[in-house]
Amino acid sequence: MTLNATRRQFLVGTALVASATAFPAFAQDKPKLRFSAVFSEQDIRAEMMKKFADAIKDDFTFEGYYGGNLFKQGTELVAMQRGNLEMGNIAPQDVSKQIPAWSIVTA
């Protein structure tokens, strides 16, 4: 069995492969980072998160939810485990409810 490929077929095939591999890079949106916290938007920690959002704005879309507007206190960890939340201000006691060995940190 012999394979006879012309130069034109090779160039067309190479161009198709190159365009197919480069195309997904243009189609992707910036990843969304949702942050949930129970502290208010006037809290010093909220100011820190706003500075963090400014620092990553070129690569990520940051959405900050303060005052427990998105998730109540104690439910952030479960939301993260289910993929409904990317970031949260989680108390160590809430982590120890899911991972009992973590309670050594909360003592």
Residue 98 has a pLDDT of 84
CB of 93 closer than 8 Å to CB of 62: no
pLDDT average, residue stretch 48-76: 95
Residue 54 has a pLDDT of 97
pLDDT average, residue stretch 81-100: 90
87-88 and 32-36: which strand pairing?
parallel
24 pLDDT more than 60 = no
CB of 85 closer than 8 Å to CB of 70: yes
> What CA–CA distance (Å, rounded) separates 77 from 82?
9
Report residue 103's pLDDT band, with 50, 70 and 90 as the boundaries: confident
Residue 72 has a pLDDT of 92
Ordered by start, the domain boundaries in the chain are 30-106
pLDDT average, residue stretch 74-81: 92
